[in-house]
A = this chain, B = another copy of it.
Amino acid sequence: MSQVRIGMVGYKFMGKAHSNAYRVLPMFFPNSTVPQMKAICGRNQEALETARKQFGWEEAVTDWRELLKRDDIDLIDINAPSDAHKEIAIAAARAGKHIFCEKPLALTLSDAREMLAEAEAAGVKHMVGFNYRFAPAVQLAKKLIDEGRIGKINHFRGQFLQDWIMDPQFPLVWRLQKEIAGSGSLGDLGAHVIDMARYLVGEFSEVIGMSETFIKERPIAENMTGLSAKGGSSTEMGQVTVDDATLMMARFENGALGSIEATRFAGGHRCTNGFEINGSKGSVRFDFERMNELEVYFTDDAEDVQGFRRVLATDAPHAYMDAWWPAGHTIGYEHTFTHEMVELMDAITNDRQPVPNFVDGVKCQEVLEAVERSIEERRWVAISEM
């Protein structure tokens, strides 16, 4: 198979990111299987047609079910709002289509498990969109850990800090409504950190969380989709039904201790998706706002020159970077998606499951739901309870 023919459901922020990845991939990864942009799907015909042209899809369809009936589509890319993931994914699996699904996989753990079961039963490839794994600096952290260069991990300290809804006049977009978004900062931001922790440290054993909604009512917006959504001139107010901030502590199966914080109220942080890991032989530190960098510390450096190194992960030795530009010439946010799609294409071509896949989506959801339960019941919750 030299091409994977794609039908994509959703055409907003993530739809744009995925489309860009599909477009860019063949030029920079010429040995990869080519993603063919067959059809884009959405409900608003006019907006959809605009997106189709702009993003470069061959066709536009308003009913995603049509995509499943077609023989010329191999893969369904789901980036519609979170409440639509389950139905589409299961139908896609039953139709024998491979599936790429944005995170969070589903609104609930049981939904996520159902999706995984169906995908496995159908024997299709399934992937979930934890794109931050694919920053070369994160890949370097993974490599150092896997090679034992950081030693036994004792601490994981993760956070995803943003500040885009601090203004009380910021409107009530769909991401602030539980019935569509599932949860707030926890599912949107915390999910990325939880996945990062699983990727780099291992499985969670038990968790306890706390959360808060600082601004409890907001103006109802006309356009509810954006991340910036300015100018909602409405004076009608609606209830915010998700968390503005969630914190958690965790114990990992390997004995490491973890703390995670996800908030949209950290003034000055536009996108601080970061972590620090301390092992018995060293430490690594990452901040997505400087995504080309990994800070690395080794306990066995000569004693007069010990210190965190700022590694610019843009050289050829770093994952994916020989495909791009010379050393020191940085890449950006969108490249994480391109790398993600390289993994997806490679997995389909070589008949293996891509990583991260629905198993990772389910395991992340287990942790998310354990955190929610721990908040509700004000107690430590073991992942095994879930």
- Tell me how far the C-beta of A10 lies from the nearest C-beta in chain B, rounded to whole angstroms: 16
Contact indicator A271/B328 (Cβ below 8 Å): yes
Contact indicator A227/B279 (Cβ below 8 Å): no
Q: Give CA–CA (A247, B158) in the complex, Å.
A: 13
Question: A36 at interface (Cβ–Cβ under 8 A)?
Answer: no
A interface SS class: mixed
A143-B304, A309-B305, A330-B291 known; A268 and B245 CB under 8 Å? no
Question: A278 at interface (Cβ–Cβ under 8 A)?
Answer: yes
- Tell me how far the C-beta of A261 lies from the nearest C-beta in chain B, rounded to whole angstroms: 6
Contact indicator B270/A257 (Cβ below 8 Å): no
Question: A108 at interface (Cβ–Cβ under 8 A)?
Answer: no
Most buried by B among A23, A255, A259, A335: A259
A270-B314, A303-B315 known; A257 and B228 CB under 8 Å? no
Contact indicator A326/B13 (Cβ below 8 Å): yes
Contact indicator A289/B328 (Cβ below 8 Å): yes
Interface residues as binary, A266-300 with B (CB distance below 8 Å gives 1, 0 otherwise): 11111110001011111100001111100011110
- Closest A-B pairs by Cβ, 4 of them: A270-B328, A271-B328, A268-B297, A332-B332
- A sample of 18 inter-chain contacts (CB < 8 A) reads A13-B326, A23-B23, A27-B54, A144-B304, A154-B245, A154-B265, A164-B327, A214-B255, A228-B327, A263-B278, A266-B278, A267-B282, A304-B311, A304-B315, A305-B311, A307-B309, A331-B332, A332-B335
